[in-house]
Amino acid sequence: MVWSGIRGTNGRLLAAAVGVVSVTAAVSAWTAQAGPAGDRAAAATRPSAKPSATAASPAEPRPIPGQTSVPDPQLPAPRVNMDIAHASDKGPRGVNITIDDGPDPTWTPQILQVLKDNGVKATFCMVGTQAQAHPDLVKAVVAAGHRLCDHSVSHDTTMNTKSRAYQAKEILDAERMITEASGGVAPLYYRAPGGAFTPYSRQLAASRGMRPLGWNVDSEDFKQPGTAALVGTVKNEITNGPTVLFHDAGGDRGETVEALRQVLPWLKQQGYAFGFPVR
């Protein structure tokens, strides 16, 4: 899901968000961890990788229910689970439609219409600069009952190689931009560009109430392989898990619009219910 256009649109960093906890260089670095079936760090794909479980000692904070990663006590405490979410709140027959990189004035309205026509709610993972440029579309997404997700400011797929200060600015500035554009509705999830999560970025997002969000089925619509290929990917891979990745920006998304028009009724016919990622 590399989008060089987005990364080039934000040539400067905004001032650091107030309240970010500064961490000394003596804190040991954490490596990026990706979830199953599609969460990829910038340089590698690890379909079967999961965050490794860490046993909590009496001196360490205990994980919140369902969480396998122990929070760093020197960082803000998580308000939601900091592990990367893949499951659906609709259970094993649930499907989460997620839409990345927008909003875009050409493609987001068309995708919103297809979702409305099929009675489907989705999660829109928005780039901060795009949300700031198109607040009317952010408000339209919220008004239609969809959820918001923080997808960073500049869509830097190498975020996992950058400093904690850089990661914090990307996450927190995007959160602010999206919340302001929506009229006060905060994102509920954080999806790292290209799946470039780090334990630090996951805990920081979770401390703001944003569950780290992965995916199970990557439609790879950014490659524009044709509508039939997109539909075939979803049909063939939906058994990998419920969270499906599409895009509404970064190029011509006509194939995506048509693929959604075809695949959403098919998923219903197969007995799937549409929901949101677990929190």
How far apart CA 183 and CA 209 sit, in angstroms, is 18
Considering the candidates 86, 134, 155, 247, report the single residue annotated as catalytic.
Answer: 247
Considering the candidates 39, 72, 83, 100, report the single residue annotated as catalytic.
Answer: 100
- 101 catalytic, yes or no? no
Cα–Cα nearest to 106, from 261, 260, 254, 264: 254
Cα–Cα nearest to 243, from 57, 40, 89: 89
Q: Report how far Cα 164 is from the mean position of its chain's Cα atoms.
A: 19
How far apart CA 40 and CA 2 sit, in angstroms, is 11
Query: Could you tell me which residues are beta bridge partners of residue 85?
Result: 213
Q: Report how far Cα 53 is from the mean position of its chain's Cα atoms.
A: 22
- 247 catalytic, yes or no? yes
Catalytic site positions: 100, 247
